[in-house]
Amino acid sequence: MDLSTLRHSTSHVMAQAVKSLWPDAKLGIGPSIEDGFYYDFDNEIPFSPEDLELIENRMREIIKKNYKFERKEMKKTEAVKLFKKMKEKYKVELIEKIPEDKVTIYQDGDFIDLCRGPHIESTGQIKAFKLLSIAGAYWHGIETNPMLQRIYGTAFESEKELQSYLTLIEEAAKRDHRILGKQLEYFSFNEEVGPGLVLYHPKGARLRSIIEDYIKKEHLKRGYELVLGPHIMKSDIWVESGHYDYYKENMYMFEIEKQEYAIKPMNCPGHILVYRSKTRSYKELPIRYFELGTVYRNEKSGVLHGLLRVRGFTQDDAHIFCLRDQVEDEIIKVINFVIDTLNVFGFEDFSVEVSTRPEKSIGNDADWESAERALIQALKRKYLNYTINEGEGAFYGPKIDIKLKDALKREWQCATIQCDFALPERFNLTYVGQDGKEHRPIMLHRVILGSLERFMGALIEHFAGAMPLWLAPVQCQIIPISDKTLEYSKKIESRLVENGIRVALDSRNERLQKKIRDAEIEKIPYMIIIGEKEAAGEVLSIRSKAQGDMGIMTLEEFMQMIDKEIKEKVR
């Protein structure tokens, strides 16, 4: 049985149950989605979490009756009359927008719904389902439209598969970076600032800085040059790049002295202008420009989600200007860079997609074909499996998306490699070839981590907030048992700080067990317990989050141990 068809059919049964319980509820849409299904309702009374159990029980009654899903064709005019009679105004709107003269409806029992199908044979084939949550959703996703209530659910062919999935989402809830980010004091959002704009607290800013320092050093080692562009640019540059025509609705525009400006949504025009600032020779290529570039995009508030979808974020963005015969090799170098980086941060599995030309695009057919061929050939040379994502490329070129898989095997979009023949043409980029004539370079857009915000969200959820030692904002916490050992504790703190260890001293007047418990909640890798015995013997009692009590060590032994763990980036 096709899982998508099963889930779509289950969404119909859910709508049928809701209508039987709340006859005045109006129906929106109810598709299957990646992990389940949803249905949107316009109901005067808000649904409560307790209502989900009520709806589930009614669904079981419908399933038990084993109603057959019957498909019927109907003229549009007849369908409009039918759904007007049923007082289903959203269905009438959908029918009126259908270009064909006929529409299809499905009926099971006394429930009728507009639907293209397909469906399973009967309601009795639904064996395992669960309603999960309630959320708000604007009709057609447009903020000026009515707010509907969306009920999410999922369905599987067997109860065993359903229980496995429910266990997975329960574990995912424990790892939710939004909850852990607040608990660990990494970041917050504030309505006074605005939605989708992150406030980094000291620990979160430190974690981000560790990631930035690592990725910056890796770029320099691999032949990239650092550049830095302004956060605002005249709109003329975005007209030249094509973003003004293809991306304007996602940009923040404003005016200064009768000149229109935009806050940058991308870093590429700045890098292009650096390249174009002087005459280039083929001997210089490839040129690789790198920037930790902060960009801003006008995302709808309804799609914002913690660090994963924000309005202001920073990318480890680079653009490579190269010769045609260098393109494949440069793509392979980027792929190697991505894989190496994912492994260092503890991600050992990933998937690959190639996204092809979208309907709205710039450039000619020959260049698009060459760009797609270069990306695919590079993947073949690396023996990497990939899927084709038709029509989902950038407006200026096709792309490779590398999606990391976390500890729960969930995919996160981070790394991207785009092959671009179009923007070098639009900006008239050239280099002087071996023949003394001007030629056009090829441009690769690429990110390794992608959005630092999204990558941090993925890291937090992957490690459930318990960062490995080399990434931990606080690597060890010194816990003096009493004020009598505070002076020795401060001496240890100074020595650790001098040796580059990120350390905190808990000098609160609290019980030892509470201090230990608080350090565990904060997921600090090591605790140094100092009592009068340790102070007198100038030793340390070490407790590891992973291993528990590790016994007594000298300061030198402890520093050697954690220095080795940090350098080897033990996970």
| Residue 20, token pair as written in the block | 């039987």
pLDDT tens digits along 469-520? 999 999 999 999 988 999 999 999 999 999 999 999 999 988 999 999 999 9
Annotated catalytic residue 560: no
The catalytically annotated residue of 317, 367, 406, 420 is 317
Domains belonging to the chain, first-starting first, are: 3-174 (3.30.980.10), 186-227+264-462 (3.30.930.10), 476-567 (3.40.50.800)
Annotated catalytic residue 319: yes
Closest Cα to residue 234, out of 255, 251, 207?
Answer: 255
CB-based burial label for 229 (10 Å; 0-12, 13-18, 19+): buried
Annotated catalytic residue 236: no
CA dist 399 and 415 (Å) reads: 10
DSSP 108-157: ETTEEEE------SBGGG--EEEEEEEEEEEGGG-TTSPEEEEEEEEEES
Closest Cα to residue 224, out of 305, 286, 166?
Answer: 286
The segments of the chain whose pLDDT lies below 50 read none
Q: Are 543 and 529 in contact (CB under 8 A)?
A: yes
Tell me how far apart the 2 most distant CA atoms of the chain are, in Å.
92
pLDDT on residue 325: 92
- Residue 433 CA to chain centroid, in angstroms? 41
The catalytically annotated residue of 445, 446, 462, 523 is 445
Annotated catalytic residue 399: yes
pLDDT tens digits along 270-318? 999 999 999 999 999 999 999 999 999 998 877 888 999 999 999 999 9
- Residue 286 CA to chain centroid, in angstroms? 30
pLDDT on residue 511: 92
The contacts of residue 332 (CB under 8 Å, 6+ apart) are 378, 381, 382
pLDDT on residue 188: 95
Whole-prediction pTM value? Answer: 0.82
Length of the chain: 571
CA dist 444 and 87 (Å) reads: 54
The catalytically annotated residue of 319, 357, 454, 515 is 319
Give the whole-number percent of the chain exceeding pLDDT 70.
Answer: 100
The catalytically annotated residue of 315, 326, 475, 477 is 315
pLDDT on residue 228: 95
The catalytically annotated residue of 333, 399, 446, 462 is 399
Annotated catalytic residue 84: no
The catalytically annotated residue of 297, 311, 446, 515 is 297
pLDDT tens digits along 119-150? 999 999 999 999 999 988 889 877 788 899 99
